Structure 1
């Protein structure tokens, strides 16, 4: 089927009419949530080959966006592959120390999802997923001769690492879990698509670009691209199931070219209700069980409440002065850490550590003074010597210009 387009401006108006401020904030949220999911949640991010060219009825981009919005799939099971290529620096073994800290240090459990799911930040992984409404989900990360499973069933959240025979257990408020709990980062291609579509405005090109088969399902291709130069986002491609309207695949490619930064999709999928036994779990005999007694701790996408405490409160205070600079896909978030200084990169950082921090970024200067730019293939962040931070899905040059304009 030949590609067909709709008018970009009409599409944005018909699909959604958010206030300008909300659109700009949403665009900043897209890269942050994408990175957050890749780093620490159950985001589903596969490299998946499309096939076929199914003959589906013509549809406009506005109609396809509406079809996504109306999709109400809550029951499914399937297999997912995950490939994430953020271009993060090689930390030379520091990852193990960070992971140890995320799981509570030496006394932590290898089954704690807050540490295990950071593995999805890079490389390729295979997962099995299942869902039956908002209070029952399961994800299994398949490894060589081992498996890690994360299960939410009502008020219980279980993590199980077969390699170490360790179990993690936490409970959540059942009412909050059924209602979806607190706002969580995206966890499926549908969630990623909804976040990306919040960015649609008159700086965006939106079109239906033909059809494909994904996981044996006939799907439309929806392509979202920035009209502006200076963004690190090249294009977002969403494969939308022609029958249910559920996104089956989400791909974000960088403007610099090369492989996708994030690629989310199913290799197999069924919309039948999974068997109830799928979500049942009993700790195996002899397993070490760690109970999470921090009741206010979040639990990824499994209905937990957001983390409370001094760190969260301090962060919120630090973002009180959040400003959005620029427009469209070139929007940059700016805030003052209140520290009065940027990251230490010299002797004040402690010898080798200072040199290590400095080696991860590029030193820059401009009307704002001096600073360090830390880069991935998607998000760039500038931290100035006086403690101001500028972050966006923009190139290094565009970031420096935004900092000069917003000083």
Structure 2
């Protein structure tokens, strides 16, 4: 139990690697000139075009590159969280964490809400995830493992939400909620996967945010987003650069979503996996977050200081911050590379850094986290004294 508690205390600094938070508002602007040559469009009109998009079918190749400015941490989250599926498993919750670092190529196909397929192409190995009706199949070629879950069509369905009656009404609501913290422009045009697109550029007006801009390439004909880029004020490669390299909006063949268990593959049922991990990863992670003052029964949510892009969440863990030398050995190098010691009126602590999200953990157990600069976190901690 003591070992589990020690490990759980490192979930927040490690989890900083996977969090990005910012409030996005919108301000209309005219499109700039660009290539290809498309009719001018206002930001509001482009938002309406996105909202009106009804793309149900497509297939193509998708490339995603992620650079959080972190040392390598493949497998680290699963190990610290208390025995997740890890390597050699077809469980999607284990496999898709690979996308949070490096560059990956995926093949994607969709035929409405009932049929989708994603194949992760990394070297010679393949990982496929297929949703067909009420079944989900996943296959990891490296381990020859299969994951199967039935009833996913209903259980995985998102709850119905009441939306504005028209795309224009939705755009009006978004613009109304913008406030003075954000600008949006139509930043010219682009060609993505051989298709003409407008570039919707969203950026903070506030000083102190780590976000330089979010750019969304929107298909001029269908209103479908084709590419997403998140840039940091620290410069260098984008934090996230994800988009289609090939895309076709025709309906994929029905056979695309068929799945047959490969010869000799071991099949794990989703309900069995849940039983096997009962009392392990999910509960351990919940407890770990509770140890840091996040979530859990009887826990108060974090207090939010500031607004918009420079909002900072703060909470009190109730105990002294962990020390790197006490961390599990597999995490020490990661923590050393991630953290810088800081001090101020608040006392002393460590800032855990990424290119987007930073977190300050003070030596007396308080945590400040946001998509803001380390100095903004120190200023917030000082102001709380």
* Smaller-chain TM-score bracket: 0.7 to 0.9
2:66 to 84, 87, 91: 84
In the other structure, the counterpart of 2:167 is: none
RMSD: 3.4
Q: Does 1:400 align with 2:378?
A: yes
After superposition, the C-alpha distances for 1:92-116 in whole angstroms (9 at most, x for unaligned) are: 9857956993316xxx752122222
Q: Partners of 2:222 and 2:331 in 1: how far apart? A: 52
Aligned to 2:125: 146
The structure 1 residue matched to 2:314, chosen from 334, 340, 348, is 334
2:74–2:98 contact (8 Å) kept in structure 1: no
- Report the alpha carbon displacement of residue 384 of structure 1 after superposing the two structures with TM: 1.5
Alignment check: 8 A CA contact 1:138 1:151 kept: yes
How far the C-alpha of 1:239 sits from its partner, in A, is 0.7
Q: CA deviation at 1:34?
A: 9.8
Distance in 2 (alpha carbons) for counterparts of 1:373 and 1:394:
12
* Structure 1 residue 67 corresponds to structure 2 residue 49: yes
Instruction: Go from structure 1 to structure 2 and tell me whether the alpha carbon gap of 1:80 and 1:233 turns closer, same or farther (over 3 Å shift).
Output: same
Q: Is the 8 A contact 2:186 2:199 kept in 1?
A: yes
Instruction: Indicate the residue corresponding to 1:208 in structure 2.
Output: 186
Q: 1:100 to 1:320 in 2, by over 3 A?
A: closer
What is the TM-score when the length of structure 1 is the normalising length? 0.73
Structure 1 unpaired stretches of 5+: 1-31, 38-51, 184-195, 298-306
CA distance in 1 between partners of 2:17 and 2:37 (Å): 32
Task: Say yes or no: does 1:169 pair with 2:133.
Answer: no
User: Are 1:361 and 2:304 an aligned pair?
Assistant: no
1:392 to 1:197, Cα distance in 2 relative to 1, 3 A: farther
* CA gap 1:401/1:176 in 2 versus in 1, 3 angstroms: same
8 Å Cα contact 1:109-1:168 kept in structure 2: no
Distance 1:279 1:84 in 2: 28
Q: Where does residue 303 of structure 2 map in the other structure?
A: 323
1:216-235 superposed matches below 5 A:
216-235=194-213
Matches within 5 A, 1:212-361: 212-293=190-271, 311-312=285-286, 314=290, 315-317=294-296, 320-337=300-317, 339-346=318-325, 349=327, 357-358=335-336, 360-361=338-339
- Structure 2 unaligned regions, length at least 5: 1-14, 21-33, 162-173, 276-280
Distance 1:280 1:326 in 2: 50
Structure 1 position 164, deviation (Å): 2.5
Deviation digits for residues 56-84 of structure 1 (CA, Å, limit 9, x no counterpart): 22111111112212222222111011211
2:83 partner SS: helix
Secondary structure in structure 2 of the residue aligned to 1:316: coil
Q: Secondary structure at the match of 2:200?
A: strand
Please report the TM-score for the alignment, with normalisation by the length of structure 2: 0.77
Q: What CA deviation, in whole Å up to 9, does each residue of 1:300-328 have, x standing for no partner? A: xxxxxxx9757548442386231111122
Q: How has the CA–CA distance of structure 1 residues 311 and 294 changed in structure 2, closer, same or farther, with 3 Å as cutoff?
A: farther
Alignment match, 2:18: 35
The aligned counterpart of 2:105 is 126
1:171 shift after superposition: 2.6
Residue deviations 1:318-355, cap 9 Å, x none? 86231111122111111223x42222335x55799778
What is aligned with 1:116?
95
